[in-house]
Amino acid sequence: MGIRTVSDYVKFYVGLNMQDSISLSSFAYNEKLVLKNKTATGKLTKELILQSLTLLDDLLNEIRDIGEQAVIKKYAG
């Protein structure tokens, strides 16, 4: 798994060029669902999944605090 920081998640989102179709917070929530599913299937180690879930929670908290556009500008701008 190559995503190890909040910045990596934001850059991944921006790189997918989905800003016009899905919000960053929706993307983060969807990623959390995918990771929880991978927990159930055992496709990733529990440690990696927990680390990623923590990063996504941090990202969502930052979005709530300063807004999506500010987060995108901070990490991908």
pTM of the model: 0.85
Residue 21, pLDDT above cutoff 90: yes
Structural domains in the chain (count): 1
In three-state secondary structure terms, 28 is helix
pLDDT band at 37 (very low <50, low <70, confident <90, very high): confident
Residue 1, pLDDT above cutoff 70: no
* Assigned domain for 62 exists: yes
* Assigned domain for 34 exists: yes
* Assigned domain for 58 exists: yes
* Assigned domain for 1 exists: no
Residue 2, pLDDT above cutoff 80: no
Residues in the chain: 77
* Count of beta carbons in the 10 Å neighbourhood of residue 32: 17
Give the pLDDT mean for 19-43: 90
* Count of beta carbons in the 10 Å neighbourhood of residue 4: 12
Q: Determine the Cα–Cα distance for residues 68 and 61; give it in Å rounded to an integer.
A: 10
- Domain containing residue 28: 6-76
CA distances from 61 to 9, 46, 57, 65 (A): 14, 22, 6, 6
Give the pLDDT mean for 20-36: 94
* Assigned domain for 18 exists: yes
